[in-house]
Structures are given as structure tokens and as C-alpha cells.
Amino acid sequence: MAAFNHYLANARDRVRTVRRGGAAVIFSLDHSLAEDWYGKEPADPVTPERLYERRWARTVLEHVLEKLRLEYEGAEKSGLFEELKGFLAEKKAGDRAEIAARHGIGINAVDVSIHRLRRRYGELLREEIAQTVGRNEEIDDEIRYLIAIVAEGSPTV
């Protein structure tokens, strides 16, 4: 019985050794090569945390825009969406009269469509942010933070 227990203990040690890297190939790092690579990289004052936050903000906004696009496609208004999405960020993203003429609607209808697009975008953004915070009271703070991150500029990567 003692021999069997020793055998089991040795087998268990061998299994653990492999799990801790016993089967890994050991190789030497050439520090001069790494320093040469990093020496040629452009200096970037953006911290990894800030870069992550910028990517997060961009991903959230793109995801919300995609949801909105799918809603317009479902209502068979994808052409109108493509023309109006520029109005989400800018007041004068295009000529409203030309858009109205292309879609056979009045300028006032275009203005109403822009208003509805912006309102729905805001609703979808709030829903998306609500999934990332613990309490509903934090949604407005998180949206303000997202806007501040986006206002800093576009990500470098």
C-alpha cells in the first residue's frame, strides 16, 4: 500500500510539473533587439488606460450606430438613414433640401426625421451604457465621461 501511495504521489508531481511550465521550451530574450524595436517607435503620450477608454468609447458609439442602422433597415429606410446619419454629429452635415427632394418629402419632414434620429440614437446610447453600469443613476455620468473621451480626439491606433 505504501509503494502504491508513493507511486501516486510521484505521478501527481509529474502532472503538476507539466502544468507549471515543465513542458515549456525555454528561450533567451535578446534585450538589445527589444530595445532597438522600442527605440524606433514614435513617442506617444497616451497611456494604455486612456487608449483603452478611447477604443471603448468608439466601440460603444459604433455599436449604437449599427443598432440604429438596423432599425432603419427594418423600416425600409436605410437610404434615408445613410443621408441623415451625418446630422448626428454636425448641425449642417448636408443639404436638407436636396435630401427632401430625393426622398419626395418636405424640408420640415427632413428636420423631424433628423430630430427623431438624434432622439433614438440617444435612447439607444442610454440603453447601451445602462448595460455597463451598476445603477441607473450612473448612466448620465458615464455618458458625460464618454463624450469627454471622444472630445479628446480620435484614437491613435
* 36 within domain boundaries: no
- CA 30 – CA 52 distance, rounded (Å): 29
* 65 within domain boundaries: yes
* 111 within domain boundaries: yes
| Grid cell digits, residue 126 | 442610454
| Grid cell digits, residue 137 | 443613476
Looking at residue 152, its pLDDT comes to: 81
**pLDDT truncated to tens, each residue of the chain (157 aa)?**
899 999 999 988 877 765 566 566 666 666 776 677 767 766 667 788 888 888 889 999 999 999 999 999 888 888 888 888 888 877 665 688 888 888 888 889 999 999 999 999 999 999 999 988 888 888 999 999 998 888 886 544 4
Q: Which pTM does this prediction carry? A: 0.63
* 14 within domain boundaries: no
* 32 within domain boundaries: no
* 28 within domain boundaries: no
Residue 121, domain extent: 48-152
Looking at residue 115, its pLDDT comes to: 92
How many CB atoms lie under 10 A from the CB of residue 120? 15
What phi-psi label fits residue 76: left (phi over 0), alpha (psi between -120 and 50 degrees) or beta? left
Q: What is the DSSP code string of 44-93? A: ----HHHHHHHHHHHHHHHHHHHHHHHHHHHTT-HHHHHHHGGGGT-TTS
How many CB atoms lie under 10 A from the CB of residue 61? 18
Q: How many domains, in total, are found in the chain?
A: 1
* 33 within domain boundaries: no
* 157 within domain boundaries: no
